[in-house]
Amino acid sequence: MAERLDVAGEWQRISMRYAIVESIGSVIGWAIVAAGATIPIWFANDSSLPWWGWLPLAAAGLFAILAVVFAFLRTRTIGYLQRPDDLLVRRGMLFRRFVAVPYGRMQIVDITQGPIERMFGLKSLKFVTAAASSAITIPGMPGSSAEELRDRLVAVSESRRAGL
């Protein structure tokens, strides 16, 4: 019988500022959808918007509010745990995902930072293993934490690969 994955320990959570970053992206996206749905109605009716022309704006506003709420809930579920032999990453509200990445299998450890993340001092840590479909990302990490974890993962993975 296979042994279960031990997920006990001190999980590190990402910054809650990441929820704001996600919220800004969602609101911008829904604003674009609302504009795309409303502008043709506006121009088709001689520069006046009929009462039903406001429905796309209202729907987009509702979806933007829901996206902001879910961004905060989703951010609370993302975390990582450093164990002796691997890094365990979790995420997901309804469908929990736990990924265990052995240190010796890590090939690339990359830090990315988009413009909105840069405004909030956050970075995303991405690492790739030998499997082609195994890119794991830990978003919303404070800059210094991301760099420290990257340096630690690179050092540990190099020592594990050297021992093979």
Is there a contact between 137 and 126 (Cβ–Cβ < 8 Å)? yes
Residue 2 located in a structural domain? no
Residues near 5 by beta carbon (within 8 Å), at least 6 away in sequence? 88, 98, 100
Residues 156, 95 share a domain? yes
Side chain identity at residue 149, one-letter code: L
Residue 11 located in a structural domain? no
Grade residue 119 by pLDDT with cuts at 50, 70 and 90.
very high
Residues 83, 140 share a domain? yes
- Give the residue numbers spanning the domain of 32: 17-74
pLDDT for position 55: 84
Which domain-ending residue is among 49, 74, 99?
Answer: 74
pLDDT for position 79: 94
pLDDT for position 28: 95
Is the pLDDT at 89 greater than 60, yes or no?
yes
Residues 66, 82 share a domain? no
Least trusted range by pLDDT, from 27-36, 104-113, 124-133: 124-133
Q: 74-92 in b/e burial notation, b at 16+ Cβ within 10 A?
A: bbeebebbbeeebbbbebe
What's the rounded mean pLDDT across residues 120-149? 86
Side-chain half-sphere exposure of 65, counting CA atoms within 13 A: 5
Residue 4 located in a structural domain? no
pLDDT tens digit string along 26-85? Answer: 999 999 998 888 877 777 776 677 777 778 888 999 999 999 999 999 999 999 998 888
Residue 93 located in a structural domain? yes
Residues 156, 96 share a domain? yes
Q: State the CATH number of the domain containing residue 148.
A: 2.30.29
Which domain-ending residue is among 74, 95, 111?
Answer: 74
pLDDT for position 122: 95
Which domain-ending residue is among 35, 55, 74?
Answer: 74
Question: What radius of gyration, in Å, describes the C-alpha atoms of the chain?
Answer: 21
